[in-house]
């Protein structure tokens, strides 16, 4: 059974895909309409606003633009008749002429019930859609602060969802530990300790200025005792110190150290989506490497395993670009098959070339099939090394409950 977390992640992924699609749409004139209906708003009020806009559109000088805007508004009004009331989280509608050819009309409508409540009421008509309110909903909510340091250098970064962002890299002037000489050695030690204290102050100031307020937690890493010495002092202030989740030993204090810090902080980051993704993909990859028979990849193998009820979880890369085609041959034999955009199909019964009569996005199609078998689907980003490995294996894999026949 798909978990609530998995369902929410799927909603976020679909919204992200929609935003990417709508960002590519441009009107040849000011004729793309955006409507945001907040949660709890009256649909009657929205219809009154749209009716008024239809009346005002009659003042537009260009006959073509006037017609396209009126048609788009009418299409929105017709779409709203499908709803008895405003959805719980509100509604966002995008509609207009997206034809790239002057003089041709292609009025299209997209409607989305977002995963989080819409707070803004908006009507907007422009050459592009207004997407900021829903872009806010696809921003990674889990943001962690990362610091790796020793007495020579420090790197400060953020873990946003699954991706690592380097914010600052600092280098110190602290000398090495050893110097020859009796009394001069003691003096050297005092000078060095003072420089280390100044170094930690510099790192602390950089941390305070670099980290945003919304970070969920902070993890400190590095070789040796530097990280513990840094934490003992009052270098970053109480507010940030209270957000420290823990420390981890890492061998590097560069950007590579940030990635190593994440890998060694699985328990600390158990609520972060990157940990769950790594865990799932590593389980899948380990099954392949050890040839346990509990990991399969490739759409044909996975569909066969699904039919036997053996699939526990399907892993789908965000980059999975296959489609499900509905195809038919001249003799009337029809079926559905997965393939690439430019795939050609031959009938398995009569050997004739088959033509496409329908097409569905591959991710949507796999999710529909998985739902029939009550199988969980996890969308995996390409932001991690493990996620990229899944993509290179064709973008789809499955973890099985038992060996499929």
Instruction: Work out whether the CA dihedral 50, 54, 60, 66 comes out positive or negative.
Output: positive
**CATH number for 173:** 3.30.420.60
With beta carbons less than 8 A apart as the criterion, state whether 395 and 322 touch: yes
Instruction: Work out whether the CA dihedral 229, 233, 236, 241 comes out positive or negative.
Output: positive
Instruction: Residue 285: count other Cβ atoms within 10 Å of its Cβ.
Output: 18
Instruction: Residue 354: count other Cβ atoms within 10 Å of its Cβ.
Output: 22
Q: Quote the Cα angle for 73-79-83, to 5°.
A: 135
pLDDT at 51 over 70: yes
Is the pTM higher than 0.75? The answer reads no
Could you list the beta-strand ranges (E) of 330-382. Answer: 334-339, 345-346, 353-361, 376-380
Same structural domain for residues 250 and 282?
A: no
| Residue 345 counted as domain residue | yes
State the distance between the two ends of the chain, measured CA to CA, in whole angstroms: 23
pLDDT given at position 74: 95
Q: With bands split at pLDDT 50, 70 and 90, how would you rate the model's confidence at 14?
A: confident
Of 255, 271, 287, the residue that ends a domain is 271
Same structural domain for residues 74 and 156?
A: no
Same structural domain for residues 134 and 175?
A: no
With beta carbons less than 8 A apart as the criterion, state whether 399 and 315 touch: yes
Structure tokens at 284: 């899948």
Q: Beta strands 244-249 and 323-328: pairing type?
A: unpaired
Same structural domain for residues 25 and 67?
A: yes
Number of structural domains, the chain?
A: 3
% of the chain at pLDDT higher than 70: 95
pLDDT given at position 95: 97
Give how far Cα 218 sits from Cα of 60, 62, 154, 221, Å: 55, 57, 15, 10
pLDDT at 3 over 70: no
**pLDDT digits over 263-290, tens only?**
999 878 876 667 778 889 999 999 999 9
Give how far Cα 133 sits from Cα of 35, 119, 136, 189, 293, Å: 11, 9, 5, 57, 45
Same structural domain for residues 130 and 234?
A: no
In angstroms, rounded to a whole number, what is the distance separating the alpha carbons of residues 95 and 140? 27
Structure tokens at 178: 């050893």
Same structural domain for residues 148 and 251?
A: yes
Structure tokens at 47: 């219809």
Same structural domain for residues 131 and 84?
A: yes
DSSP string, 182-209: SHHHHHHHHHHHHHHHHHHHHHHHHHHH
Structure tokens at 207: 């941390």
Average of pLDDT values for 130-137? 88
In angstroms, rounded to a whole number, what is the distance separating the alpha carbons of residues 190 and 184? 10
Same structural domain for residues 303 and 237?
A: no
pLDDT at 180 over 60: no
Structure tokens at 387: 């996620």
Same structural domain for residues 47 and 130?
A: yes
| Residue 5 counted as domain residue | no
| Residue 150 counted as domain residue | yes
Range of the domain at 121: 15-138
Nearest 5°: phi and psi at 90?
85, -170
Q: With bands split at pLDDT 50, 70 and 90, how would you rate the model's confidence at 324?
A: very high
What is the DSSP-derived secondary structure letter of residue 395?
S
- CA nearest 197: which of 169, 229, 220, 223? 229
Buried b (16+ CB within 10 A) or exposed e, 290-324: eeeebbbbebeebeebbeeebbebbbbbbebebbb
């Amino acid at each position: 059974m798909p978990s609530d977390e998995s369902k929410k992640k799927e909603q976020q992924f679909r919204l992200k895909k929609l935003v990417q699609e709508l960002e590519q749409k441009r009107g040849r004139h000011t004729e793309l309409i955006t409507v945001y209906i907040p949660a709890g708003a009256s649909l009657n009020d929205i219809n009154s606003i749209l009716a008024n806009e239809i009346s005002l559109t009659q003042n537009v000088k260009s006959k073509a633009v006037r017609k396209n805007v009126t048609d788009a508004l009418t299409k929105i009004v017709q779409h709203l008749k499908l709803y008895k009331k405003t959805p719980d989280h509100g509604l966002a509608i995008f509609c207009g002429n997206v034809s790239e050819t002057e003089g041709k009309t292609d009025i299209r409508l997209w409607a989305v019930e977002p995963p989080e409540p819409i707070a803004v009421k908006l009507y907007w008509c422009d050459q592009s859609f207004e997407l900021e309110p829903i872009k806010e909903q696809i921003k990674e909510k889990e943001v962690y602060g990362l610091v790796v340091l020793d007495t020579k250098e420090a790197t400060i970064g953020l873990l946003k969802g699954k991706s690592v962002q380097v914010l600052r890299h600092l280098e110190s002037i602290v000398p090495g530990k050893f110097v020859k000489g009796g009394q001069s050695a003691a003096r050297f030690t005092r000078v060095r300790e003072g420089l280390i204290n100044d170094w930690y102050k510099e790192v602390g100031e950089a941390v305070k200025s670099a980290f945003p307020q919304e970070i969920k937690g902070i993890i400190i890493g590095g070789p040796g005792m530097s990280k513990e010495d840094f934490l003992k002092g009052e270098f970053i202030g109480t507010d940030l110190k209270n957000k420290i989740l823990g420390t981890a030993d890492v061998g590097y204090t560069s950007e590579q150290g940030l990635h190593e810090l994440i890998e060694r902080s699985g328990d600390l980051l158990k609520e972060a989506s990157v940990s769950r993704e790594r865990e799932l993909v590593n389980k899948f990859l380990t099954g392949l490497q050890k040839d346990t028979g509990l990991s399969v990849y490739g759409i044909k193998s996975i569909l066969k395993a699904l039919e036997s009820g053996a699939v526990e979880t399907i892993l789908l890369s965000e980059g999975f670009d296959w489609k499900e085609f509905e195809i038919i041959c001249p003799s009337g034999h029809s079926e559905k098959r997965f393939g690439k955009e430019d795939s050609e199909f031959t009938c398995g019964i009569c050997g004739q070339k088959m033509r496409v009569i329908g097409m569905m996005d591959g991710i949507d199609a796999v999710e529909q099939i998985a739902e029939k078998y009550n199988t969980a689907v996890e969308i995996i980003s390409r932001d991690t090394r493990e996620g990229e490995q899944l993509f290179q294996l064709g973008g789809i894999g499955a973890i099985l409950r038992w060996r499929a026949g």
